[in-house]
């Protein structure tokens, strides 16, 4: 098991594109493993469209990997999405980490667009099958309830073969979806024990299906803040988290110092989670840079040391 830590954006707090690119270049220059972009199409708050952002990152960075956490596939066309992912992975020389989820049926993306939420899981399964086949097969013919394709092909295909495909969700359908179409799983809102149960279910279902699921491809994301639970930005984020998830904010946020953040990370490792997306809470360019800088200096080195020790022990 190797511990990997990426940085994500839960929202877009930069004052300009320049502030965003300063943050991106710092992550790229300082050896951050990956950058993750939240997907939200309809919102009063600013959010970058994730596929466009991935394409921009492909040309603006040299080393860092990048992904979306997670893109709602239920409202995206599989052929266009597959082509976008293949193009971005090709142009970045294999640095894309696509991640897909069903998305909440209470999301404004669904409500504002008037899309039916019924059978959205089946629609997502069909889309995933089409996409994963387009990434690796010469021609794809597919006759489904929601999509029909005849001799569809895309070129160039992704550099990575297979292209990683992380799946979100914790219901039984998400477990099966992860094994049937994905290469990894991303948790959200789960406690260590709850996430561990899903990991065990994924490994067991894969075994039943005669498939191998790499146990090192299980991830978790949460908000982080060097500061206090009394900080206004933390109180705001905690309130939003509780409203969205119905859970205690302390299950989805680590607030305090580096030791508090590392304690939350270490709490998941015994339950099979080894990949983490830390979303710094900051208001404006200066705070986001400062919060991210401290994560790079005070948290990420511990993950590297942990991984090296595990390698030596094995």
Residue 110 has pLDDT above 80, yes or no: no
Which pLDDT score, from 0 to 100, does residue 11 have? 84
Rounded (to 5) percent helix, strand, coil in the chain: 45, 20, 35
Range of the domain at 289: 4-313
Q: What angle do CA 211, 213, 214 make, to 5 degrees?
A: 145
Amino acid 106: pLDDT: 61
Mean pLDDT of 25-50: 91
Q: 251-255 long-range contacts, Cβ below 8 Å, gap at least 24?
A: 251/189, 251/190, 251/191, 252/189, 252/222, 252/223, 253/222, 253/223, 253/224, 253/225, 253/281, 254/222, 254/223, 254/224, 254/225, 255/224, 255/225, 255/227, 255/228, 255/229, 255/231
- Report residue 284's pLDDT band, with 50, 70 and 90 as the boundaries: very high
CATH number, residue 97 = 3.20.20.30
Domain tally, the chain: 1
Percentage above 70 pLDDT, the chain: 94
Predicted confidence band of residue 102 (pLDDT cuts 50, 70, 90):
confident
**What pLDDT sits at residue 41?**
79
Specify the 3-state DSSP secondary structure of 166: strand
Distances from the Cα of 245 to the Cα of 156, 191, 250, 260, angstroms: 40, 12, 12, 22
Q: Hey, which residues does 149 pair with through a beta bridge?
A: 142
What is the pLDDT averaged over residues 229-244? 92
Strand partners, 236: none
Rounded mean pLDDT, 303-307: 75
Report the first-to-last Cα separation within the chain, whole angstroms.
10
Q: Average per-residue pLDDT in the chain? A: 92
Q: Is the per-residue pLDDT at 137 higher than 80?
A: yes
Whether the Cβ atoms of residue 294 and residue 221 lie closer than 8 Å to each other: no
pLDDT: which is higher, 208 or 69: 208
Looking at residue 104, its pLDDT comes to 62
Split at pLDDT 50, 70, 90, the class of 19 is very high
At residue 311, does pLDDT exceed 80? Answer: no
């Amino acid at each position: 098991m190797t511990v990997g830590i990426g940085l994500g954006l839960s929202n877009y707090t930069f004052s300009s594109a320049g502030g965003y690119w300063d943050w991106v270049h710092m992550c790229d220059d300082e050896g951050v493993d990956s950058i993750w972009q939240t997907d939200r199409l309809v919102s009063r708050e600013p959010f970058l469209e994730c596929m466009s952002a991935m394409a921009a990152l492909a040309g603006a960075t040299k080393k860092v990997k990048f992904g979306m956490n997670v893109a709602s596939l239920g409202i995206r066309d599989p052929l266009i999405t597959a082509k976008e992912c293949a193009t971005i992975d090709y142009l970045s020389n294999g640095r894309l980490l696509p991640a897909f989820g069903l998305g909440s049926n209470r999301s404004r993306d669904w409500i504002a667009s008037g899309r039916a939420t019924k059978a959205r899981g089946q629609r997502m399964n069909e889309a995933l099958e089409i996409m994963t086949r387009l990434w690796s097969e010469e021609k794809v013919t597919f006759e489904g309830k929601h999509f029909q394709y005849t001799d569809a092909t895309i070129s160039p295909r992704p550099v990575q073969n297979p292209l990683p495909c992380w799946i979100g969700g914790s219901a039984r359908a998400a477990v099966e979806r992860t094994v049937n179409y994905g290469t990894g799983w991303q948790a959200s809102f789960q406690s260590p024990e709850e996430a561990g149960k899903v990991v065990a279910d994924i490994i067991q279902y894969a075994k039943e299906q005669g498939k191998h699921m790499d146990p090192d491809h299980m991830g978790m994301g949460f908000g982080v803040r060097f500061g206090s639970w009394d900080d206004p930005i933390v109180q705001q984020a905690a309130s939003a988290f509780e409203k969205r998830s119905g859970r205690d904010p302390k299950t989805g946020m680590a607030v305090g110092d580096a030791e508090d953040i590392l304690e939350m990370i270490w709490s998941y490792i015994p339950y099979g989670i080894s990949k983490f997306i830390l979303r710094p809470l900051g208001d404006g360019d200066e705070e986001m840079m400062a919060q991210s800088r401290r994560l790079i200096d005070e948290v990420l080195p511990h993950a590297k040391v942990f991984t090296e020790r595990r390698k030596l022990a094995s």
